[in-house]
Amino acid sequence: MCAAPLSLKGRALRLLSGREHSRAELERKLAPFEEEPGALARTLDELQTKDFISEQRVVDSVLYRRAAKLGSARIQQELSAKGIAPDTVRSTVAALNGTELERARAVWRKKFSGAPADASERAKQMRFLASRGFSGEVVHRVVGTDPQHDEF
């Protein structure tokens, strides 16, 4: 006995039950299953009207899961990839920039036991923080200072 294929709405709700998705993400994931033109847009409009799709919840979810580990540049990239409105991304990143140095120091402390012993270790630590999306200025401030004498 074969189960009936899921409707677009059923597929969307299944995706939303796992985590928050933006409208753009749902459009990308569900487009291959659209059988009649406009059905996907109508389904997503209905879900958005019923508040199943919320851009602000997607932003809050990304910040909750990722902000403690990543810099503003990576958060900006992730939000943009999810199809969040550019104004929302800009304001979110602007708010994150105020805590970038503290977050970078926390990530650095968790990964490394202390200040770099030589240029090779310093470069390694700087690459690590840069790969996490922290700005060059912040990376230099974190790795270029002696954490035992710097006031956090």
Q: What is the pLDDT of residues 86-108, one digit of tens each?
A: 999 999 999 999 999 999 999 99
The backbone torsions φ and ψ at residue 17, rounded to the nearest 5 degrees and listed phi first, read -70, -20
Right CATH number for 1-53 from 1.10.10, 1.10.287, 1.20.81, 3.40.50?
A: 1.10.10
44 within 8 A of 53, measured Cβ to Cβ: yes
Distance CA(22)–CA(9), nearest Å, equals 15
Q: What is the pLDDT of residues 117-127, one digit of tens each?
A: 899 999 999 99
User: Domain extents for the chain?
Assistant: 1-53, 54-98, 100-143
Chain-centroid distance of CA 89 in Å reads: 10
Residue 148 has pLDDT above 70, yes or no: no
| pLDDT of amino acid 6 | 83
Fold for domain 100-143? Arc Repressor Mutant, subunit A (1.10.10)
């902000």: which residue's tokens?
Answer: 67
Q: What is the pLDDT of residues 39-67, one digit of tens each?
A: 999 999 999 999 999 999 999 999 999 99
Least confident of 36-40, 106-110, 146-150: 146-150
Looking at per-residue confidence, does 5 or 83 come out higher?
83
Residue 151 has pLDDT above 70, yes or no: no
